[in-house]
Structure 1
Amino acid sequence: MPKVLIVEDEEPVSLLLRYNLEAEGYEVEQAFRGDDAEIRLREVTPDLVLLDWMLPGLSGIELCRRLRARPETERVPIIMLTARGEESERVRGLGTGADDYIVKPFSVPEVVARIRAILRRAKPEVLSSVLALGDLELDRETHRVRRAGRELHLGPTEFKLLEFLMRSPGRVFSREQLLDGVWGHDVYVDERTVDVHVGRLRKVLNRTAKKDPIRTVRGAGYSFDDTFAKAG
């Protein structure tokens, strides 16, 4: 699931973009100030940044310049969003390091299409429909899971849970993080529900195999075992 950071101070615009990108299967984070976005980008590196030109705290053009100056973010694709449509401004934005430039008001489907086109060129691996770790293979498009070539039958929640864990092998997720990532921020589900679904997922995954790919970290949560991911 590609990660997109939206840096846009107009909340309705940011929410519209987030809703549509999440509907397309993207993982989305938001920042409403340029300086806040810079701090966040020092902690997490997204697959693409959707960046407004005019921002409080730090302008989008300056943030773009700083991102290109840092080794960690120099290759992260950046799409600038702006009301400035003049050719000289477009040239300035692209000259600063932006990969593309979209003038407001914009068509949301066009934004989504441009994001996909840039990611297809810059990071084709994040758009892959198949996750393969160890002897496990998960196909996002067909919603099929196989282990050692044998098809497994998962419920929709267990499928989403496995996909979420497989995207970040070795990373430990708390129950709260799993609730947000799998069930969503707007759905109230008790944390114990996570344990129930992890148990169901394990039962299916380990029915014909001995090594459990899901690791329980006492007092912290769950992770997809990175040693399993490197095996096979």
Structure 2
Amino acid sequence: MARKPVVLLLESDVTRRRMMTYNLEVEVFEVLAAESEDDVVARLTQDEIDLALVNWEGFDSGILSICQHFKASGKYVPVLVIAGPEGEEERLAAFRAGVDDIMPKPFSVPELLARIRAILRRTSPDLGGRVIRVSGLNLDVNNGRVSRDGKDIRLSQTEFRILRLGRHRRCGNQHLEGC
């Protein structure tokens, strides 16, 4: 079984951090929460990180310093900034510093997850796919495959869509695909 993609989340607001952690974990990401630049540097040296998700608000130009830490570590860690800089010069400076994508506010959770997956598909193709796992059943949303306990199950497109839709309805939240 493939490992979960690891997302380092830098968010100063406790409520937003909890909400974002919950949504990422529901989508089968492992989340490492950080509250400060020092936390990020510590995590960078201790943990394997596939993507950094950073809220610009509350950190402003500290994000550029964080990107420099990523570069100095010798590891490539893609960085997705939320509520990024508003001015063109600031955005260009962020991209030059190593930011991969900037997501303006307000944003939706499904779009945030789609951007994370798009970055992972480009940077770590083995992690960018979307697999929902429940009780030994694996539903690979990107490839339209289903397996149970490691054995492939052949389904028609209609059966696959019904299974995927059933997963939505069971959650009671149709805005969070695969919740």
* TM-score category, normalised to shorter length: 0.5 to 0.7
Partner of 2:173: none
| Match among 35, 54, 70 for residue 73 of structure 2 | 70
In structure 2, do the counterparts of structure 1 residues 120 and 129 end up closer, same or farther at CA, with 3 Å as the change threshold?
Answer: same
Q: How far, CA to CA, are the matches of 2:152 and 2:82 in structure 1?
A: 46
4+ residue runs over 4 A deviation: none
| Match among 18, 21, 24 for residue 21 of structure 2 | 18
Cα RMSD (Å) of the superposition? 2.5
Partner of 2:34: 31
Could you tell me how far 1:9 is from its partner in structure 2? 0.6
Could you tell me how far 1:106 is from its partner in structure 2? 2.3
Which AA in structure 2 matches 1:61?
L
SS in 1 for 2:149: strand
Which AA in structure 2 matches 1:145?
D
Q: How far, CA to CA, are the matches of 2:43 and 2:120 in structure 1?
A: 21
Give 1:96-135 correspondences, 5 Å limit: 96-128=97-129
Higher relative contact order (CA 8 A, sep 6+): 2
Identical columns (%):
35
Q: How far, CA to CA, are the matches of 1:84 and 1:107 in structure 2?
A: 18
TM-score norm. by structure 2 comes to 0.68
Q: How far, CA to CA, are the matches of 1:87 and 1:97 in structure 2?
A: 16
Q: How far, CA to CA, are the matches of 1:118 and 1:59 in structure 2?
A: 22
- Residues 28-47 of structure 1: per-residue CA shift (max 9 Å, x gap): 11011111111111000211
Q: How far, CA to CA, are the matches of 1:76 and 1:107 in structure 2?
A: 23
Q: How far, CA to CA, are the matches of 1:35 and 1:120 in structure 2?
A: 28
Whether the aligned pair in 1 keeps the contact of 2:119 and 2:128 (CA below 8 Å) is: no
Partner of 1:217: none
- Equivalent residues, number: 139
SS in 1 for 2:127: helix
In structure 2, do the counterparts of structure 1 residues 90 and 21 end up closer, same or farther at CA, with 3 Å as the change threshold?
Answer: same
Partner of 1:5: 8
Could you tell me how far 1:129 is from its partner in structure 2? 6.5
Q: How far, CA to CA, are the matches of 2:122 and 2:14 in structure 1?
A: 29
Whether the aligned pair in 2 keeps the contact of 1:129 and 1:139 (CA below 8 Å) is: no
- Residues 1:82 and 2:83 are matched in the alignment: yes
Could you tell me how far 1:115 is from its partner in structure 2? 0.2
